[in-house]
Chain A
């Protein structure tokens, strides 16, 4: 065979191999008929945040936040009237400063110093009464109603919309001479949770929910029981 023929055969062979490779690569790289569609958007997670206010809900009272709670930095001082059964107004409000509806409760402790006395005592239902319209109260003191000390959780029985304030205490009314003209100290802590979602993790009849999953931490072991939930219904 001469060189011309050899070169000719090499050329033909090269073309054949190239075609074979083209076929292999083409079939190997092209898959089935497919299509992929993708779209993006954004959303913002809502928030609930409690603040304690005076001045008809317009001025934030000095305090601090702690894990979703708002705690007054110092007690609110109120001097009761000198006449029995005459209510003294309390300018104390809680506001939802978040962006979605919330459920709120406040922990209230009331102590007082009787006139002409230097000792601070726990205010009791025996010597005074409180009015907190729209709230459902749960006392830590399990003694007979009417003699209990004012150490209680109050649950607001409606949702609170964003940027809305509700009154925590309307008034305190002295009932006996011991409370007349007495100086009262009120400490308050407010907890707020989203109305939607976690708020439903509460004990209904026949169910038990771990404390960690409840919207509020237990006050007593009997907190947020099915019995209480017949009175406080804002969660529904």
Chain B
């Protein structure tokens, strides 16, 4: 059996080259590992990587059409919003995602939106200011229903009569994996009630 023999680098130049080589190898290894295996490092619309390892995209079906309708105070209009995962990449399944939704009108009345969603409070947690957090997750086959109706604020004033208002619906999805919501800046301040409610869905890998 042949004896193994460790190479000795007594020459300073060789020692330097060895150190730098190790650094390069470590860096390259990290980058390869990053692009290939750790999907949660990547942003959904990132297309610069050689390999696509996952994606989050939402498909939203919503009815915000009030054409030909004049809003009446305190009146409820049947309008629904449904959210489902929709892969941004052909033949790729979308990752499971947590979602939050906000509905904003401009102008407002007394600091409140003129239109607010009617939703199942068992499925959504309102943060008290703008976002509604879904208790659960969506993917390409699992959807979430947000509002089943839209209700007009009861405190409309004469100043608002005949005024046109803008309605904006925003859906924000984040990967379910790796408990991303706990560290992402836009999610980490989510209501505790929601964090508790979705703890069972959290995955750490």
Residues of A within 8 A of B (CB): 1, 5, 9, 12-13, 15-16, 19-20, 22-23, 26-27, 30-49, 67-68, 98-101, 194-198, 200
Contacts and interface: CB of A to CB of B under 8 A. Distances in A.
Contacts of A100: 70-72
Contacts of B66: 41-44
B64 interface: yes
Interface in B9-30: 12-13, 16-17, 20, 23-24, 27-28, 30
Contacts of B158: 67-68
Given A1-B13, A194-B73, A32 B154 contact: no
A32 B42 CA distance: 6
A197 B58 contact: no
A196 B74 contact: yes
Given A33-B175, A196-B74, A47 B162 contact: yes
Interface residues of B, number: 70
A10 to B, nearest CB: 11
A68 B156 CA distance: 13
Given A32-B43, A33-B175, A200-B74, 11 more contacts: A1-B13, A13-B20, A20-B27, A33-B43, A34-B173, A34-B184, A35-B172, A40-B64, A43-B164, A45-B163, A198-B73
23 contacts: A5-B13, A12-B16, A12-B20, A16-B27, A23-B30, A31-B43, A32-B180, A34-B175, A35-B45, A37-B170, A40-B64, A40-B169, A41-B65, A41-B66, A41-B167, A43-B165, A45-B71, A45-B161, A46-B161, A49-B161, A100-B72, A196-B75, A198-B73
A49 to B, nearest CB: 8
Which 3 A-B pairs give the minimum distances between C-beta atoms? Answer: A197-B73, A46-B70, A197-B74
A153 to B, nearest CB: 20
Contacts of A12: 16-17, 20
